[in-house]
Amino acid sequence: MGFSNPVYGNNFADPDVIAVGDEYYAFATNGPLGNLQTLRSKDLVTWEQVGDALPRLPAWTSPGRVWAPEIAVHAPDRYVAYYTTAHNESHRQCIGVAVASKPEGPYVDTSSAPLICQQDEGGSIDASPFEDSTGQRWLYWKNDGNAIGVDTWIYVSKLSADGLRLEGEPTRLIKQDLPWEGNLVEAPYMLERNGTFHLFYSANAFDKPSYAVGHAVCESPSGPCRKSGDPILSSSDDAAGPGHNMVLRKGDRYWFVYHAWDPALVGVDPPGRTMWLSELTWDGDQPHVQPPLHQNPAHP
């Protein structure tokens, strides 16, 4: 039995999903449900609204531009959220970190300043945590260079064991240098599989059909990385601008979770970017992602 996309048809941009017991929790950019929109599901296909996982913001920011949350699971009673938000002092988008004892929150950020805020490089957005097979935690993000007309880089840094501090100097991995990528790369997501490190990323303009997902193979969590070339997920007749993906493994199968929008809505944003699901398969170290389909023949 298959399923229908989008799996959540309301505004739910930049989705991230974690598995907790026999349930799944999805988190997204601010929208109708609050600063950090939250859903819950038993099967990845049918979702119920939970609410706002980050109801209070720290004093250094304001509501309105709380973007791209991703959650690291540390323990059954410890969840760490990385999120992008406006920095009141610099007027840049910067990265904050918050902690909760339950997956649905409330997440609490007690900081007096952002975790990362590369003001001279346009700001910092799209933080994505990763734990490698040795237990070392890492954080990936993008400097928001397109906001000021400079290069965009995917950065990585080691994280402290509690996930609240960067350790060492950040490393640059990739920037926009392929024709299809346009003016930016963003939305990094790292996956380790059979000892190989796969960096997925989005590029081009999120509100254009040219937005798509690329892939690079990395020698280690901190690079160097070699891009595969053309996008591995791009617009179809059913969905435009697929991007800001993450990868969820369920049993021995892999699933791409991402946002996309109705091709008929070029230039407008109701109902906005909705949450989609496509199966990810492998040919050795080369990933293959099923194109966006309204009627998907597989089922998670």
Q: Where are the domains of the chain?
A: 3-296
Tell me 123's DSSP state: B
pLDDT in tens, 201-245: 999 999 899 999 999 999 999 999 999 999 999 999 999 999 999
More confident residue, 53 or 2: 53
The pLDDT of 263-288, averaged and rounded, is: 86
What pLDDT band is residue 272 in, cutting at 50, 70 and 90?
A: confident
Distance CA(172)–CA(280), nearest Å, equals 27
Residue 278 is predicted with a pLDDT of 97
Tokens representing 155 are 């950065």
**Residue 288: count of CB within 10 angstroms of its CB:** 12
What pLDDT band is residue 268 in, cutting at 50, 70 and 90?
A: low
Q: To 5 degrees, how large is the angle CA 207–CA 86–CA 174?
A: 60
Distance CA(273)–CA(232), nearest Å, equals 19
Instruction: Give CA separation, 141 vs 16, 32, 82, in Å.
Output: 15, 25, 10
Distance CA(242)–CA(291), nearest Å, equals 9
pLDDT in tens, 127-170: 999 999 999 999 999 999 999 999 999 999 999 999 999 999 99
Residue 264 is predicted with a pLDDT of 84
**CATH level 2 (architecture), domain 3-296:** 5 Propeller (2.115)
The percent of residues above 90 in pLDDT, for the chain, comes to 94
Distance CA(132)–CA(155), nearest Å, equals 16
**Residue 231: count of CB within 10 angstroms of its CB:** 22
DSSP per-residue letters across 14-57:
S-EEEEETTEEEEEESSBTTBSSEEEEESSSSSEEEEEES--S-
Beta carbons of 145 and 123 less than 8 angstroms apart:
no
- The pTM assigned to this predicted structure is 0.97
Instruction: Give CA separation, 22 vs 5, 25, 249, in Å.
Output: 22, 10, 13
pLDDT at position 270 over 60: no
What pLDDT band is residue 179 in, cutting at 50, 70 and 90?
A: very high
The percent of residues above 70 in pLDDT, for the chain, comes to 98
Beta carbons of 206 and 185 less than 8 angstroms apart:
no
CA atoms within 13 A on the CB side of 174: 32
